[in-house]
Chain A
Amino acid sequence: MAGGLSAPDAADTRLAAVRAWWRSARPQRTFGQKADLVYTTVLVGGTFGGMAYGTASSALAEVVDPASIGRWVPLLVLVALLAVASWGAVQGPVVFSVADVAQLLGAPLSRHDLVARPLRRAFAIGGCAGAVVGALLVVGLAGRHRGIATLDAVGVVVGVALTGVLGIAAGWAVQSSPRWERAVRAVAWPAVVLAGALALLAGAGRAGRDLALWWGPWGWAVQPGSGASTTASLAGLLALAAVTVAAVTLALRHGADAPTERHLRRAEGRAGLIASLASFDVRTSRRNLADVGSKGAARELGDLRRLRDLVARIAATPWGARRTGELAVAWRGAVALRRAPRLVAQAIVLGAAGTAIALIGARHPGAVAVGALITYVAAARLLEPMRSELDMPGRARMQVGLRLGRALPPHLVLPALIVCCAAALAAAGVAVAGDLPRNGGLAAVVAVAGAGAIACCAAMSARRGGRLPHEILFMAAGGDPSGGGFFIVAWLVAWPAAAVLTGAGPLLLATSAARGTPTWALPVCLGAAYVLVRVLRSEPQERW
């Protein structure tokens, strides 16, 4: 019998016995195997790292300098922290299997001790990941022969590593407590908006920069790389260390507080996630994770009578009489979005941020591409009703008498409208701030039209059903020298890349012409959107 059976009395002795039994039932790597793994990792990392260092250093040096560290990195660190904390709402740093929940968490073993070891491991991983990011920042800072003082380099690495640990502590807090989950959900987006505003303010002068660097641990972490004085850097790092130690202590002390139900839901979510990923079903994977998070109180739908009356009036017109099915689908989309005001608000923030980034950074193709991608994410978040339609393609025909192809474009109307409105708001804001690029008026109009085209690309991606088609898998397995990776990655990034082309391309055209005003950039955008809508409309019922 593996490990032998004993009958220890105390919970800690039993847990030690269980661990010893696990080790014998599931043989671990020997020391030699572990050493071999470390040796191979160091060798491969050293060889390829050395080869890639020069390129990485040049590329990072383009975007990382003390000014950008002081202005943008606190925002990015905050977003990363919130992402790690929000990850606790769907999985988190300590996730058991369903069988673990039944057999180990259901046994009279100390929850505290069961959780402590994986939690400590997660802290170590968070710290290492942070240190790697910090090291990359140092590589960028030292690039272009700028160099960096040893103390500052160490400070950046330590600061970002501590932030990694802090992120894990935040993730555990959210994972173990519904109260923390609600709190992070409530503050996440306002905090990102505020951080964005502070990043903009930081560009205006010394006071704004100091505020961006001092308003939270995300700023304290990068003080040493921002050109701040040694005293300020040290103070920031000490404050960050104090907060991190407190957070880690609290997390370890309250390791037993997570209710079994939260562990069980995450375990079930992970099992579903693994199963759906094994069949390359991204949409179901996402839904598996979304189902884990708390839903909160269901929202009352409220009175949509005015909108319903408006739809009825349009349907009564000769134009509307021929489109009652499409109007019904658009109405259904309005009802769905009315139930999810948070999602609409997020899409507006993302759409506006993407457009603002594209317009302000119009001279840098990379910035315009990033802006287009953010707008793509904004539109994609609003397309859940379309995905639901595609999950049950016969429903539109049954309920509103439309074939699938005719039901898809009306699903796009509201998301495209919302993203375009957000883009228009952002363009107006950038214009007021005086940050519009060359050919400003045209650029603003193209940015708004581009947002519509980007929404069409997001719809085209949703149309694919979220599951990697078998023919792609066969092609990947058969004809791809990379072993399938190239085909799969190409399939995944095809529509985001198309969104960058249709959104960023015309904007770059509109702003980069040395002479004259290239007004044809606008028809390029509108033409792309029109073609994509026609493709959506031609979706055959039979494919599904």
Chain B
Amino acid sequence: MHDDEPTLQVGELRREYGRLVALDGLGFTLRSGECVALIGANGSGKSTAVGLISGQLTPTAGTVRVCGHDPHREPDGERARAATALVPDAPLLYQDLSVRQHLELVAIAHGVDGAETSIDGLTERLGLEPWRDRLPHELSRGMRQKTQLACSLIRPAALLVLDEPVVGLDPPSQALLHELLLERKRAGVAVLFTTHQLRFARGLADRAIVLEEGAVVDEGPWDDVYERSIARGWLAD
């Protein structure tokens, strides 16, 4: 990856499910240390966009490049996956692995140096310390979400993608997440997240893209998009 190359390039991204066009014409770039919020109502195409960018869904048309690599083609996808950390909207955890074992597995799979120290630090910071030997079914929804978040934060990534990250988190945990994402931004990680909650995005997102029925209806600097959204009355906080 060249220094001037964006971390994420998305061009004319389109996804159809049969006759339904879930996303059409999404295009933007995201540079190191930048944060973009994808906002929109239910069914507007946010999760589809996240799935396409993270390589979990295959686009009908358009391109995605993470650090110059296509996540939908092998072996190029391997490099794109090395650069992308995803926090899905629902925690995807092994039922027979404890919180700590999940973090160990992710650390090994991503070749993390000094993983034991990182795991201890992260579990303590996220309040998972008392739960680290528990299995997922012994955890609340919020704790499972935090475990999933920890799995994404324990590993190195140039791009952090979060789908509805605040769902299931209590207000203190939301504030902690906000803080963690700001730290990642300052460390040069490009952050992309989807949310309904404009308050969470405030102070975090540099830019915003508003989706409606799969199409981009507004985009620009966060403050401008926020004001326009409030003025239109369809994205009130």
Binding site for B on A (CB under 8 A): 1-3, 5-9, 11, 14, 17-18, 21-22, 25-26, 97-99, 101-104, 106-112, 256-257, 259-261, 264, 295-298
Neighbouring B residues of A3 by C-beta, 8 Å:
104, 108
Say yes or no: B78 contacts A99, CB within 8 Å.
no
Q: How far is the CA of A296 from the CA of B88 in the complex (A)?
A: 27
Interface members, chain B 95-133 (any A CB < 8 Å): 95-97, 101-102, 104-116
Size of interface on B: residues with Cβ below 8 Å to A: 40
- Stretch in B25-33, B79-87, B177-185, B199-207 touching the partner: B79-87
Task: Check if A98 sits within 8 Å of B115, measured CB to CB.
Answer: no
Q: Do B77 and A111 touch (CB < 8 A)? A: yes
Contacts of B79 in A (CB 8 A): 108
| B109→A18 contact, CB < 8 A | yes
Tell me if B110 and A256 are in contact (CB < 8 A). no
Interface centre among B58, B86, B104, B105 (most CB of A within 10 A): B105
Q: Are A2 and B101 in contact (CB under 8 A)?
A: yes
User: CA A261 – CA B17 in complex, angstroms?
Assistant: 13
A72 to B56, CA, bound (A): 44
CB of A7 within 8 A of CB of B81, answer no
| Contact (Cβ within 8 A) A102 B92 | yes
Provide the bound-state CA to CA distance between A208 and B95, in Å. Answer: 56
Contact of A108 among B82, B102, B107 (CB under 8 A): B82
User: Hey, which chain B residues are within 8 Å of A111, CB to CB?
Assistant: 74-75, 77-78
A477 to chain B, nearest CB (A): 25
Query: Contact between A103 and B106 (Cβ–Cβ < 8 Å)?
Result: yes
B214 at the interface (CB under 8 A from A): no
Q: B230 on the interface (CB 8 Å rule)?
A: no
Q: Is the CB of B108 within 8 A of A14?
A: yes
Contact across chains for B113 and A7 when beta carbons are under 8 A apart = yes
Q: State A260–B77 Cα separation when bound (angstroms).
A: 10
Q: Is the interface of A mostly helix, strand, loop or mixed?
A: loop
Beta-carbon nearest neighbor of B54 in chain A = A106
Is B37 on the interface with A (CB-CB < 8 A)? no
Residues of the B chain whose Cβ atoms lie less than 8 Å from the Cβ of A2: 101, 104
B19's partner among A107, A259, A298 (CB-CB below 8 A) is A298
User: In the complex, what residue of chain A is closest to B93 when comparing beta carbons?
Assistant: A99
C-alpha gap A103/B103 in the complex (Å): 10
A107-B18 in contact given A5-B112, A259-B58, A264-B56 (Cβ < 8 Å): no
Q: In the bound complex, do residue B72 and residue A109 qualify as a contact, i.e. CB atoms below 8 Å apart? A: no
Contact residue among A8, A21, A295 (Cβ-Cβ distance under 8 Å from B105) = A21
Q: Are B110 and A107 in contact (CB under 8 A)?
A: yes
Cα of A259 to Cα of B113 in the assembled complex, Å: 30
CB atoms of B109 and A14 under 8 A apart:
yes
Structural contact, A104 and B112, CB atoms closer than 8 A = no
Nearest CB to that of B84 among chain A residues? Answer: A106
Q: Are B113 and A18 in contact (CB under 8 A)?
A: no
A134 to chain B, nearest CB (A): 36
In the complex, the answer to whether A112 meets B74 with C-beta atoms within 8 Å is: yes
Give A15's nearest chain B residue, CB to CB.
B109
Q: Pick the contact of B108 from A17, A256, A261 — CB < 8 Å?
A: A17
B41 lies within 8 A of chain A by Cβ: no
With a CB–CB cut-off of 8 A, which chain B residues contact A104?
109
Q: How far is the CA of A108 from the CA of B69 in the complex (A)?
A: 12
Are B92 and A107 in contact (CB-based, < 8 A)?
Answer: no
Q: Which 10 A-B pairs have the closest CB atoms?
A: A108-B82, A102-B92, A107-B109, A256-B74, A5-B115, A7-B113, A99-B94, A298-B18, A298-B19, A7-B111
Residue on B with the closest CB to A5?
B115
Q: Do B81 and A106 have beta carbons less than 8 Å apart?
A: yes
Q: Known A1-B116, A25-B97, A103-B94; judge A110-B78 contact (CB<8 A).
A: yes
Write the nearest CB–CB distance from B95 to chain A, whole angstroms: 8
Most buried by A among B57, B74, B93, B107: B74
**Chain B CB within 10 A, most for which of A8, A21, A108, A110:** A108
Interface centre among A17, A26, A107, A296 (most CB of B within 10 A): A107
- A residues within 8 A CB of B40? none
User: Which residues of A are found within 8 Å of B8, using beta-carbon distances?
Assistant: none
B156 nearest CB across to chain A (Å)? 10
Contact A5 B116 (CB under 8 A): yes
Q: Which of B48-69 contact A (CB under 8 A)?
A: 51, 54-58
> Complex Cα distance A108/B82, Å?
5
Checking A22, A103, A298 against B102 with a beta-carbon cut-off of 8 angstroms, the contacting residue is A103
Residues of B within 8 A of A7 (CB): 111-115
Q: Which residues of B contact A25 (CB under 8 A)?
A: 97, 101, 104-105
Contact between B92 and A261, CB atoms less than 8 A apart: no
Contact status B74-A21, CB under 8 Å: no
